[in-house]
Structure formats: C-alpha cells, structure tokens
Structure 1
Amino acid sequence: MPTGVALRDAREQLFGAAERVLLRDGPSALTSRAVTTEAGCAKGVLHRHFADFDAFLAELVLDRIARLDHQAAALRESAGTGSVADNLTRALMELFGSVAVAVVSLVISRDDLRARLRETRPTGIPLLTEAAGMVAGYLAAERDLGRIAADADLDTLAPTLIGAVHLLFADRKGTPPEADAVRKVVTTVIAGA
C-alpha cells in the first residue's frame, strides 16, 4: 500500500470506500484492510482518524443517519403538494435505494457496533428508527393540512411503512422493487389514514 499519500478528506474517502465494500461484498467482508485497500491508502490512515474499527463503523453509521436530515426536510416541504402516497413512495425509494439497506445489515450483523451505537441510540435499529421519525414528521405535516386523518396513529404508521418497504428492498443481491410495488405497500398502509 502506498504511504505518504495525502488524502484530501480522509474521513469521507474512508466512508466512501466502506460503502463500496459493503454494497459489493456485504457486511461480513467489511474489514479495516478491505476499507483501506478500497480507499487506496495505508491501513494506518484509518487508525489515525478513528480509535478502532468499531469506532470507524459507528461514525459511518452516524454520518449516514445525519444525511437523513436533508431528505427529511425535503419530505416535510412536500406536504400539501402531490399525493401523500406519491410523496412517501418517492422518499422511501430514495431512502432504500441508497446505502441504507446495507447499513442496516451492517448494524444487525455486528454486536460490538450495535453496542457502541446503543450508547447514543438506546432503542430501535439505527437508521431505520430515524427514517421512521422522518416519515412520522411528514405525516404530521400532512395531518396538520387535513390530508391525513386527525386521529391517525402516526407512531404506528411510520414504522409500519419503514418495515414493510425495507422488506421489499432487503434482498441485497436481488433486483430492487419497482416504484409501483412500493406505492402499493404505501397505499395499503395509509389507506385508513
């Protein structure tokens, strides 16, 4: 491996490399050596920026969770426009069409990572829990506009949508579902709301 090569943003370069390994080879292939090889840097670079590999993985997950903020804001801003089902379908396709499914697999497969994340996120599955919050926030905005029933149980609808759509995308090697399949799940779940 090359040494002495300056990395512009080592954190982002390492995170990008980890995502590529994760998407291509799955969570069991994600090692510090695989990440640094993919990033084209010496293994010591990772350890200069992170206490250990689990600290790196935790920061990767937290960074990907933070990226939901932009998507959550865009989804809330869509309240009152288009149809609720179309807005949710688009947001869920974007969410699960990204690296999110692979990150969830990573969190589920690594006990030490999950334990570290539990220090700041004591309940749920990190990323999915925040995604459910994003959906609940949107549904609340739609409820405020009268497009969702005033008595709709948003705390049940949001995680139900996340769980059901996640199952459609969960086959990491298969073909992702079409928008029509996601829309069918969305319309079924929100039908009574």
Structure 2
Amino acid sequence: MPTGVAIRDVREQLFDAADRILLTAGPDALTSRAVTTEAGCAKGVLHRHFTDFDAFLADYVLDRVHRMDAQAARLTEAAGTATVVDNVADALTALFGSVAVAIVALVTFRDELRARLRESWPAGVPVLTEGALMIAGYLEDERARGRVPADADVDTLAAILIGTGHLLFADRTGASPEPAAVRHMVSRVLV
C-alpha cells in the first residue's frame, strides 16, 4: 500500500486479517508480517497502532471476547424457548465454529500473550472463561424458569460444557462435530 494513503478502520482490518490467518493456517502462521500482508498494508501500520506484536495480539483476543456479548444476548433471549439442550448446543456450535478454537490455541501457544492478557484478564483463557460465563448465565435464567433443576450447579455445568465442547471442536483441521454429537454431549452433561 502506498505511503500516505489513509486506511479506514485499521484496527478492524488488522483483526479481520488475524481471523483469516488463524482460521486457514493456525496460530503458528500468525506473525506481524502475515497479518499486515493479509490486511494489505505495510508492516509499519501495525506498529504505529500497537507497541509490539504481543500488544496487538492481546487487543485482538480481547476484542474477539467482547464480540461474544452479542452471542450471549441471543442466548439470554432464547431462555424459555426451544429446549435447553438445543439452545446450549447451538450456542456451543456458534462459539466453537468461530475463530474461538484458534484463539484458544493462540493463547496457549504464546507465553508473552498470556502474560499481557493477565494484565487485564485475571484468570483462564478469555474465550473459554467468557463462554462459561455466558452458558452459566443462560442456565441460571432457565433455572429461574424451572427448566433446569433448582439444585443444579450452573457454574460447574457451564465449565464442563465449555471444556467438553472445546474438546469436540478442538481439531480445527478436521470436520466439525455433527450437530447430533454436540446435542448428545450437552444432554449427557445436563442429565
């Protein structure tokens, strides 16, 4: 890209490029050069907006976590509709069908990124932690409606669902699990 040409929404352009790289080539391929090449801009653009590549990655991960707010809102709105199993299975499929699985691998892969994230995210892997909070909130809503047993430990159930869901979807190079397999897992956990 020629020098002096303004780039609109540069952060979003760089974050979208990171998504594409993670989804197609995985965390090993995510470098500053790969991101700027994919975004169609000079490498210096990234460094003008972020102190270093790990600062870029930390902002990227947190941005993608905050995007889960819309998914959490949709899940909350689904409380009392369809079945609890279907709603949770659909939420897990949407979560892990996105770039989330690759982000988990990225956070696991890069020590400096984890250190940066600890500055603003106290524990856990952000995507997984936020996903567990989303599922727990939904299960709490369903418990209040009587669709989940009153004595259910929704926080533990949510953590189990996120962990087991991640295991189902973790092989990003293979086929995604069949919807029936996700629903079966959810139904077994919620029994």
Range into which the TM-score falls when normalised by the shorter chain: over 0.9
Distance 1:48 1:145 in 2: 50
CA drift at 1:2: 3.8
Cα deviation per residue 1:130-184 (whole Å; 9 max; x = unaligned)? 1000000000000000000111011110010001011111001101111111001
| 4+ aligned runs moved over 4 Å, structure 1 | none
Cα deviation per residue 1:98-136 (whole Å; 9 max; x = unaligned)? 000011110010000001101121211111001000000
Q: Mind listing any 5+ residue stretches in structure 2 that lack a counterpart? A: none
Distance 2:174 2:18 in 1: 21
Aligned partner of 2:35 in structure 1 is 35
1:108 aligns with 2:132: no
1:44 aligns with 2:34: no
Cα deviation per residue 1:65-120 (whole Å; 9 max; x = unaligned)? 00111111110111111100000111111111000001111001000000110112
Asked if the contact 1:3–1:41 (Cα under 8 Å) also holds between the matched residues in 2, the reply is: no
Aligned partner of 2:78 in structure 1 is 78
TM-score, scaled relative to structure 2: 0.98
SS in structure 2 at match of 1:127: helix
Aligned partner of 1:133 in structure 2 is 133
Aligned partner of 1:97 in structure 2 is 97
Q: Mind listing any 5+ residue stretches in structure 1 that lack a counterpart? A: none
Identity of aligned residues (%): 68
Amino acid at match of 1:113: L
1:67 aligns with 2:42: no
Aligned partner of 1:3 in structure 2 is 3
Aligned partner of 2:122 in structure 1 is 122
**Matched pairs, number:** 191
Amino acid at match of 1:95: L
Distance 2:180 2:83 in 1: 14
TM-score, scaled relative to structure 1: 0.97
Aligned partner of 1:17 in structure 2 is 17
CA drift at 1:5: 2.9
